[in-house]
Amino acid sequence: MTILIDDAGTGDLLWGVVIGAYQPETETFIYDIIDVSFFKEGAFQEKRHFEEAARIVLKLVERLNLKPYEKIKVCQGDILNSAAERLKERYSEEVVERVHVEGRAQELIEAAYINELKNLGYEPIPDRIGRWGKSFWHMYDWVKKDPDERVKWVKTGFPNLRKFKIFRMS
């Protein structure tokens, strides 16, 4: 059996990041969230989100009860670099592989992220990944409609956001 690890929302303006684990053979999917606070001024510059991602990944793999013959395939995204290293330390280099996650695992993790966004009251555009620039501005416009309530859900630690007045207020 295999455990696939992926993330969703890392480069998006809103919310935190969903880290998911999927076992294709059993169709088991679980996830947890790196809170948006890890992407605010200070915590983001200190790169605390990397360690939080590692903590979450280890917890998810533990919950899935990795068997000795199983492999763990981790998405190649930067946010999962520390997680992959910690997994190698715990389970061995032979067990952990960096891959490009596609298919059902990616669909489930993206759906979890989209559902979290919808819980905020935000309705994402279709194909937000393929239209990242448009997705950014759609999210920005949503925040701008009620910044006093919505800026708290923005990853304001991203350096490029300092040029926008509404994000300097947070």
Structural domains of the chain sorted by starting position, each given as residue range(s) with its CATH number in brackets: 2-103+110-168 (3.30.420)
> What tens digit of pLDDT does each residue of 89-123 get?
999 999 999 999 999 999 999 999 999 999 999 99
Q: List, in sequence order, every beta strand (DSSP E) within the chain.
A: 2-8, 17-23, 28-34, 71-75, 96-99
Read off the pLDDT of each residue in 41-53 and give the average, rounded to a whole number. 94
- Other C-beta atoms lying within 10 Å of the C-beta of residue 147: 15
Read off the pLDDT of each residue in 54-73 and give the average, rounded to a whole number. 94
pLDDT band at 169 (very low <50, low <70, confident <90, very high): low
Residue bearing the bigger pLDDT, 122 or 169? 122
pLDDT of residue 41: 87
57: Cβ–Cβ under 8 A, 6 or more apart, which residues? 5, 19, 21, 74, 80, 83, 86, 87
Token duo for residue 65: 């009860």
How does the average pLDDT of the chain come out, rounded?
A: 92
**In the block, which residue shows the tokens 């956001």?**
161
pLDDT of residue 117: 96
pLDDT band at 162 (very low <50, low <70, confident <90, very high): confident
How far apart CA 84 and CA 78 sit, in angstroms, is 10
> What tens digit of pLDDT does each residue of 148-160 get?
999 999 999 988 8
Residue 150 is given by DSSP the state: H
Token duo for residue 89: 């330390």
Distances (CA, A) of 132 to 110, 126, 135: 14, 11, 5
How far apart CA 87 and CA 35 sit, in angstroms, is 21
